[in-house]
Amino acid sequence: MDKYDVIIIGGGPAGYRAAERLAALKKKVCIAEFSEARIGGACLNEGCVPVKAMVESAHLLMKMRRSSEFGIESGEIKADMGAVRAAASKKMDFLRTALYSSLKKQGVDFVFGAASFVSANVIKIDSRQMEAEYFIIASGSESRKLRLQGFELTMNSFQLLEKGFSGNELLIVGGGYIGCEFASLYRAFGRDVTVLEALPDLLAMEDSDVTRALEREFKKQGIKLLKAASLKSVSSAEAGLSARIEQNGRSSEEKFDAVLSAVGRRPRTEELNLGSAGVNVLPSGAIAVDDSMRTNVPNIYAAGDVIDSPMLAHTAYREGVTAASAIAGIETEKINYPAVPRIVFSFPQVGALGITEKEASSRGIETETRKSFFAANAKAVITGETAGFLKIISSVSDGRILGAAAVGAHACEIIHLLSPAVSRSMTLKQAAEVMYGHPTLSEIVSEALAKI
Ligand code: NAD
């Protein structure tokens, strides 16, 4: 039987980052993954990479449509969705191949197939058994399903990307990360998009000024919003699908060409036979871990979407490294979850980290907020993307920066300028002393702190 120091189940961000760390620490490590095509996990193959690659095409298209504002006449602009998807696939293939060969060069082994536990020290992949001193479960997540009639007629984000969408009317159920990104993407390519959200706001975790700014821009683009609404059933119609929707106590039947379900993801543990290893699973389906990512079984760790933490690739990276370090007996800083960046690649983008004003208020923390607007930022005026703002939230008692949020062009990048301030609890005064080049979008930080 093959024997390793560590076997990692899952080759996504948590798994491959853990493998890199363990290989660097001279551990004999193997990643178990369904197939070579799945290396990089949902992030590289289904989500972060292909979606953001298509978002980039959409951004270019939007910019080209406004080229005359920049003195450029570009003639007829045509978008070919097939070619857009092919361009995204090419980038995905490049990154997957590069990742695979880099991991192999670092000494990481791979085994392909569905892994499940036989005991706390042995797994099986098809008929092959493998033994390890330690395991890291990094099996990720899968789209959550709704219990409603006709749900099987809906698609998840991966299915929509894979099959393509040649119709016009798209209903997106869920106004979270995926819902907002796909709404922006398909609207930019000229589709009629409706977003149905159960809660009163899109991106409900963020403050209402942020969501209002996003929703205002969505409406300007012609994205239809059905908030505090629920989807009751989906059925086949003569052409496309019919969705029964309830909102404000009224029920209506509407036709769409496709329905995308984007109502969250759930940890993927069912195929792992965790019972044989004695690993505890929370009622949510997530694996319970401590600060070092260790499960209740001392030699088994878990990291990424499969544990109860934000389902984000960058969180998974950190958790993978934490697990790997703990296995090697190296102490790492406890993960500062509130400082995890929340970034949404919609048009406009949303970026946030740390506390929100509403969370501070519910926790009885007195805060003050400083805001600056892209419309007053020279670079934003130059690029013609002036919608939105940046706000910085600080504690009244000691002036420490507790959180920040941005909505607007490149907000997903700009928000990181506040990452050191939030994760290291800098004061407004310290942050105000940082200098930014002119003219840049980054200056919006110094503009927000101009009156310190
Ligand atoms: P999400 O949790 O971000 O959003 C789900 C949304 O669906 C919520 O707004 C929720 O209120 C709504 N909802 C739930 N049930 C509903 C119902 N029955 N009817 C209508 N609305 C309903 O989940 P997601 O958008 O599916 O994304 C899945 C995961 O992938 C997230 O955890 C996210 O962290 C991750 N992701 C991240 C990024 C990024 O970082 N840019 C992008 C895409 C996905």
Q: Whose CA is nearest to atom 19 of ligand 1?
A: 198
Residue 150, classed as helix, strand or coil, is: coil
Instruction: Kindly indicate the confidence band of residue 1, based on its pLDDT and cuts at 50, 70 and 90.
Output: confident
Q: Which position has the token pair 């690993």?
A: 279
As a whole number, mean pLDDT of residues 119-132 equals 96
What does DSSP say about strands 401-408 and 388-395: parallel, antiparallel, or unpaired?
antiparallel
Query: 231: Cβ below 6 Å to ligand 1?
Result: yes
- Out of 171, 177, 416, mutate this one to test ligand 1's pocket (max ligand atoms within 8 Å of CB): namely 177
Residue 83, classed as helix, strand or coil, is: helix
How far from the centroid of its chain's Cα atoms is residue 86's Cα? 22
Predicted confidence (pLDDT) per residue in 342-401, tens digit? 999 999 999 999 999 999 999 999 999 999 999 999 999 999 999 999 999 999 999 999
Structure confidence at residue 196 (pLDDT):
98
DSSP 260-282: EE-S-EEE--GGG-HHHHT--B-
Query: 55: Cβ below 6 Å to ligand 1?
Result: no
Query: 447: Cβ below 6 Å to ligand 1?
Result: no
As a whole number, mean pLDDT of residues 422-442 equals 97
Predicted confidence (pLDDT) per residue in 271-329, tens digit? 999 999 999 999 999 999 999 999 999 999 999 999 999 999 999 999 999 999 999 99
Distance of alpha carbon 304 from alpha carbon 112, whole angstroms: 20
Distance 235 CA to ligand 1 centre (A): 23
Distance of alpha carbon 387 from alpha carbon 380, whole angstroms: 9
Structure confidence at residue 204 (pLDDT):
96
Please check whether residue 268 is in contact with residue 316, taking contact to mean a CB–CB distance below 8 angstroms. no
Distance 385 CA to ligand 1 centre (A): 26
Percentage of the chain modeled with pLDDT above 70: 100
Predicted confidence (pLDDT) per residue in 92-120, tens digit? 999 999 999 999 999 999 999 999 999 99
Residue 74 has pLDDT above 90, yes or no: no
Which ligand 1 atom sits closest to the C-alpha of 146?
18
Percentage of the chain modeled with pLDDT above 90: 98
Structure confidence at residue 43 (pLDDT):
97
Residue 238 has pLDDT above 90, yes or no: no
Which ligand 1 atom sits closest to the C-alpha of 176?
4
Predicted confidence (pLDDT) per residue in 170-202, tens digit? 999 999 999 999 999 999 999 999 999 999 999
Distance 204 CA to ligand 1 centre (A): 10
Distance 179 CA to ligand 1 centre (A): 7
Query: 229: Cβ below 6 Å to ligand 1?
Result: no
Distance 199 CA to ligand 1 centre (A): 12
* Residues ≥6 apart with Cβ < 8 Å to 283: none
Residue 2 has pLDDT above 90, yes or no: no
Query: 96: Cβ below 6 Å to ligand 1?
Result: no
What residues are paired with 342 via a beta bridge?
A: 352
| Active site members | 438
Query: 263: Cβ below 6 Å to ligand 1?
Result: yes
Query: 13: Cβ below 6 Å to ligand 1?
Result: no
Q: Whose CA is nearest to atom 26 of ligand 1?
A: 264
Query: 262: Cβ below 6 Å to ligand 1?
Result: yes
Residue 225 has pLDDT above 90, yes or no: yes
Q: In which element (H, E) is residue 430 found?
A: helix 428-432
Nearest Cα to Cα of residue 368 among 448, 261, 255:
448
Query: Within 13 Å of residue 17, how many CA atoms lie on the same side as its CB?
Result: 21
Distance of alpha carbon 279 from alpha carbon 272, whole angstroms: 10
Which ligand 1 atom sits closest to the C-alpha of 199?
11
Mean pLDDT of the chain: 97
